[in-house]
Amino acid sequence: MINREKYTIIIKEQAKSLGFDFCGISRAEKLVEEEPKLESWLKNGFHGKMAYMENHFDKRLDPTKLVPGAKSVVSLLYNYFPDEQAKPSYHKIARYAYGKDYHFVIKEKLKILLENLREEIGEIEGRVFVDSAPVMERQWAEKSGLGWIGKNTLLINKQQGSYFFLAELILDLDLKYDGPIKDYCGTCTKCLEACPTAAILDNGVLDASKCISYLTIELKDAIPAEFKGKMKNWVFGCDICQEVCPWNRFSKKHQEPAFNKTEGVKEVTDREYIEFTEEVFGQLFKDSPIKRTKYQGLKRNIDFIQKQPI
């Protein structure tokens, strides 16, 4: 018991020292309640053409299949809320894409965290994850008390809202576990009402195939004509359901220099968005999450909204 408490304190202190805003811990076990929900979501085709979501079904639900001998899931939140919004522009990008690619920034911090823990605690077996493996990040963060999954299906933290990157350590270490908190969405339906493509269903389910983030990033085919006039000029991701969420009035400016706006985001004019070449795209967005769309994807998105009224 003493070691469990001691190790838990060490983990949370080390996480804080590396810039993680919140840290919660859960027992590594199968997410039994999530199984029928995930099965139904896939069966209804709400994952669109993200075929990879059908893979590793068992691993998504059971962290011990990802890390043999796992005893704990450490969930972490890293703030990305900017102090300055993107300049007024016809072309909108999600706030999380203002700075450098979070996968690399946070993955490096997780590796340092794991090494620091090994130095302080001893040999630990484990893996680090940040939006790159079959881990149900929001469910684990909710289970460990970092917030609740809102009606927009994002994790909402009571202290600071939802502008966070989620990350995990799955460890073979027995720790002191946190518990979930209540859902504070209440009767609010602002996110459902604001979603221009009706992607957020009234039962707390996201039809990702209609989500602007999916349409502008994950979808590799042409954007279906049914979404003409509904994209609200988003060319990479979308923040609408976060912008209208009352809990985001508590958002605080991030403290991570890597998430400050890159030159590409800062300097590109509306005309340049329309006219840039593949070479310029590579230069502007080489360290940005925006490169995920590739040149052709971003051009597709830009061309699609050009046909809409401003």
Q: Is 254 helix (H, G, I), strand (E, B) or coil?
A: coil
- Say whether 101 is catalytic: no
CA distances from 145 to 26, 139, 241 (A): 9, 10, 22
**Token output for 181:** 């908190």
Query: Which residue intervals of the chain are DSSP H helices?
Result: 2-17, 34-43, 57-61, 102-121, 137-143, 190-194, 212-213, 240-243, 263-267, 270-275, 278-284, 294-306
DSSP 156: E
Active site residue: 131, 172, 174, 270, which one? 131
**Token output for 29:** 């076990």
10 Å CB burial of residue 150 (0-12, 13-18, 19+) is buried
Cα gap 82→23, rounded to integer Å = 21
Burial 110-146 (b: 16+ CB within 10 A, else e): beebbebbeeebeeeebbbbbeeebbbbbbbbbbbbb
CA distances from 307 to 129, 227, 234, 236, 253 (A): 39, 11, 13, 17, 35
User: Annotated catalytic sites, by residue?
Assistant: 131
